[in-house]
Structure 1
């Protein structure tokens, strides 16, 4: 023990109690509220399972943020806490101390533990009793099922022991326990296992879903029916859904998938990465959107001119704050389509990503008037497109009047490369000087970043050698 950092009396009291677990358990009914969290932490880190179990059914707060103590899931601790909940569920009359309604297994609650351990701000007597006062008002209501909160991350082919044990425990107590999940991430996980897991989750609790699986249309359609029941989803991210040639049955699957959006009345952010099934079918999805989106990302796929037309005509994109079309090849698209789309979102757009879209000088020239009217734009990225110094000068001129634009990521001008596509440092320096000169003429303090081509060894999304051009 350091002389400079002596243990507090609360810490010493907790350590003394835990030397004799039976005495500690017997004292819980009379233990001051402010001693509960420090003693729980001592029992948690010391793996005193009997004390943890007893403290759960005497817990004097509505929420037990257990996840805030677990950097990594620990099965033994979980078993002790769930054992305490079993005692609580079996009691006809709860302890006068216990007000527990929520077990939170997410990585939250650190502020709660730091406050009671003395690591946070100093607390007064009023703040000590505030959680208890809040809990007491809730106990006047009829007892509802206990809620267990968890963020689900399903990956590989099997679940770890922690999650397997928790789900089995919940399954055996369906009437008394609600398993709630606000964020769910699925990475290469079999559909049949996903279905089993979700059968135990309150689907209307889910607010964010991220799926990254090499599925074909049929499993995606099956999963979409589950998404349709998650009527409080706000963010939906689908990545790498594979598709071969469309057949009649697959056309029906697309309709089944997109029709589920009709049920998502709270959807605000939609991210679709490599959605090959949407080529020529984007209108099916767009017409099923029921609420205005805040952010829309459709990336690394092919879209037909008809798709871009439907996108610009969709009433639910008019309030977009973020638009990401990175990796959507626009080289051969009609030059008037992208300007029309930008005009529709110009009043609200704050972030625009057009990376690796195959945009050429003529296409950038076409969108400059619409771009200059995006008065709320703060972030703009054009990386991975082959553009000349001349068109980039025009770009800087058209965007110089945007008051909020603070982050700009542009490609290294094509004059910086040799005929073999090799970046030439001397040419790059000259291009940077040319762009600096136009910034000086415009007279507004500004920093732009130039990124060279995507690294062929690190993947399409990796850009290297960022070069700042700074005018202050």
Structure 2
């Protein structure tokens, strides 16, 4: 109750920006978080800017996983946040770490959120602007120092000249009485000012213990110069690559760090450049999409990924890895690929989409540590691949498994059942969409599926099931204690006539539904089964486009 009252009061306070100068200086630091959340929720960019610019703590985290139904922060509020960070650099703010991982939303979403690409560009612009501002400040301070040097030297020369004149007048016989020069402290002061920055840098190097590889030394020196470390997820494509490269290579008051790196449609050489610029610490995952890597290109990148000790996620989507064609030296490249994957000691998530590597799963998954998340859609998995997977050391640790769009039949079904049995206590998310599962195959699979007592979500779309088979699937799902989401396929009876006997997933996706059939009747019938089973917490949907298992937690 008290927390709700604080939220209500915070919303009321940030709603009136005109009065903020009178009360903001008296706000206790414990209330800054509630006020900032209220400013984001009420879309008050001016309040966001003032609160961030005066942030009283060393760390500020904005973003993270949003609750269901919670909208992403408004674009203007995010821009005000970034602008306040740059302004706060000159105010000796307490802020040292800004964590905005997960802050991005979907472009064009409700409330005008800022997408991943736009946020990355804005961050890089902020880093470059902060560097330019610091250089202007240094130039101003340098001019002041030069004027001070000039004044000190002029004063010293003037005193020396006066002393020489006075000494010349005080001659006594052949003996000359000289006036001693000005105090030595002036020269020492000038030399001290000139060498101050050099001595300070040596002191910092001694205290921080700079050493190791050249890249580690450069990172430590950059960290010493940085006032605020900005941690974010970066989205890079051909249009933003140059700006990101400049920002990552810029040393200044803001140091850009990356948690998850997503790249699209850029070359192997460009990806290599980005990886060489990223700090070794902090990178948890890399997602490469629509880039023509080839097997050789991926084998070239994997050794670079081993330099990131915390990397636990590698996702490759539509990267043109195809070994079905006859290439000389293909087996050697595949061995290099396997060895490169094995060097990623912390890897727990591996996603390979549409890479067309049939029969090579044993080679790809020869990792010393078991995986927890495995996504293998559109991979043309062979019976040998599925047999290996069901007996591998990964099977008993899997939490998420996606083998969508891999054709399953009576020859591969025993391997799938064995795999589900091995993963029954750990598997939480399973996707079998578009696998060609008919009523008969489903009947053999349901006992093993029902044994996965930890399963939270199940995707079964685009499988050629009749209404009878779909009802069997829902009855089994209703008995699964942890299942909360079921993505079910439209039954064959809901489609217009003309479908082949065993339609593919592409045909089911493109074939029109029968307008004479009320789709709501299917949903009502399935929900009636849930009510009869006493299951009220299972959510049923056939909306394939809006189903995202990453948002189900």
TM-score by length of 1: 0.68
Partners of 1:327 and 1:356 within 8 A in 2: yes
Distance 2:446 2:296 in 1: 42
Distance 1:275 1:7 in 2: 56
Distance 1:193 1:450 in 2: 41
Partners of 1:375 and 1:404 within 8 A in 2: yes
Secondary structure of 1:214's aligned partner: coil
Superposition CA RMSD, Å: 4.2
Compared with structure 1, are the counterparts of its residues 12 and 321 closer, same or farther at alpha carbon in structure 2 (3 Å cutoff)? closer
Alpha-carbon distance, 1:36 to partner: 9.8
Alpha-carbon distance, 1:328 to partner: 1.7
1:444 partnered with 2:535: yes
Alpha-carbon distance, 1:203 to partner: 3.1
Distance 1:463 1:332 in 2: 31
Aligned to 1:77: 129
Aligned to 1:7: 20
Kindly provide the CA deviation profile for residues 291-311 of structure 1, in whole angstroms up to 9, marking residues without a partner as x: 232211111220000000111
Compared with structure 1, are the counterparts of its residues 263 and 191 closer, same or farther at alpha carbon in structure 2 (3 Å cutoff)? same
Aligned to 2:360: 281
Alignment partner for residue 290 of structure 1, among 350, 368, 382?
368
Aligned to 2:54: 38
Secondary structure of 2:386's aligned partner: helix
Distance 1:255 1:318 in 2: 26
Distance 1:64 1:263 in 2: 31
1:372 partnered with 2:450: yes
Distance 2:447 2:200 in 1: 71
Kindly provide the CA deviation profile for residues 210-257 of structure 1, in whole angstroms up to 9, marking residues without a partner as x: 011132222121112222332321111111121251424122222211
Aligned to 2:264: 187
Aligned to 1:426: 517
Distance 2:263 2:306 in 1: 16
Alignment partner for residue 318 of structure 2, among 240, 244, 250?
240
In structure 2, list runs of 5 or more residues that go unmatched: 1-13, 27-49, 57-78, 104-113, 142-195, 202-207, 209-220, 500-511, 548-553
The structure number with the bigger radius of gyration is: 2
Alpha-carbon distance, 1:201 to partner: 2.3
Range with bigger deviation, 339-348 or 79-88: 79-88
Secondary structure of 2:488's aligned partner: strand
Alpha-carbon distance, 1:92 to partner: 4.2
Alpha-carbon distance, 1:260 to partner: 1.8
In structure 1, list runs of 5 or more residues that go unmatched: 14-33, 95-100, 102-141, 453-460, 465-472
Compared with structure 1, are the counterparts of its residues 220 and 43 closer, same or farther at alpha carbon in structure 2 (3 Å cutoff)? closer
Partners of 1:352 and 1:379 within 8 A in 2: yes
Alignment partner for residue 159 of structure 1, among 232, 241, 258?
241
Kindly provide the CA deviation profile for residues 23-55 of structure 1, in whole angstroms up to 9, marking residues without a partner as x: xxxxxxxxxxx99943999998599x8x76644
1:218 partnered with 2:270: no
Secondary structure of 2:517's aligned partner: helix
Secondary structure of 1:251's aligned partner: helix
Alpha-carbon distance, 1:84 to partner: 8.6
Alpha-carbon distance, 1:339 to partner: 0.9
Compared with structure 1, are the counterparts of its residues 181 and 86 closer, same or farther at alpha carbon in structure 2 (3 Å cutoff)? farther
Alpha-carbon distance, 1:450 to partner: 4.8
Alpha-carbon distance, 1:375 to partner: 0.7
Alignment partner for residue 422 of structure 2, among 344, 354, 359?
344
Alpha-carbon distance, 1:439 to partner: 3.7
Compared with structure 1, are the counterparts of its residues 84 and 274 closer, same or farther at alpha carbon in structure 2 (3 Å cutoff)? farther
Secondary structure of 2:297's aligned partner: helix
Alpha-carbon distance, 1:443 to partner: 3.7
1:169 partnered with 2:250: yes
Secondary structure of 2:250's aligned partner: helix
Range with bigger deviation, 62-71 or 354-363: 62-71
Distance 1:64 1:441 in 2: 51
Alignment partner for residue 319 of structure 1, among 383, 397, 402?
397
Secondary structure of 2:318's aligned partner: strand
Aligned to 1:272: 352
Distance 2:55 2:520 in 1: 63
Aligned to 2:286: 209
Aligned to 2:334: 254
Compared with structure 1, are the counterparts of its residues 373 and 35 closer, same or farther at alpha carbon in structure 2 (3 Å cutoff)? closer
Distance 1:46 1:332 in 2: 62
* Number of aligned residue pairs: 379
Aligned to 2:459: 381
Compared with structure 1, are the counterparts of its residues 208 and 146 closer, same or farther at alpha carbon in structure 2 (3 Å cutoff)? farther
Compared with structure 1, are the counterparts of its residues 185 and 444 closer, same or farther at alpha carbon in structure 2 (3 Å cutoff)? closer
Kindly provide the CA deviation profile for residues 415-468 of structure 1, in whole angstroms up to 9, marking residues without a partner as x: 22232244224264664565455445434336553528xxxxxxxx7479xxxx
Aligned to 1:358: 436
Compared with structure 1, are the counterparts of its residues 65 and 366 closer, same or farther at alpha carbon in structure 2 (3 Å cutoff)? closer
Distance 1:349 1:274 in 2: 23
More strand by percentage: 1
Distance 1:363 1:388 in 2: 12
Aligned to 2:172: none
Partners of 2:55 and 2:94 within 8 A in 1: no
Secondary structure of 1:199's aligned partner: helix
Distance 2:25 2:238 in 1: 44
Range with bigger deviation, 264-273 or 346-355: 264-273
Distance 1:251 1:437 in 2: 55
Kindly provide the CA deviation profile for residues 5-40 of structure 1, in whole angstroms up to 9, marking residues without a partner as x: 413247699xxxxxxxxxxxxxxxxxxxx9994399
Kindly provide the CA deviation profile for residues 78-137 of structure 1, in whole angstroms up to 9, marking residues without a partner as x: 32455499899947449xxxxxx9xxxxxxxxxxxxxxxxxxxxxxxxxxxxxxxxxxxx
Distance 1:308 1:324 in 2: 12
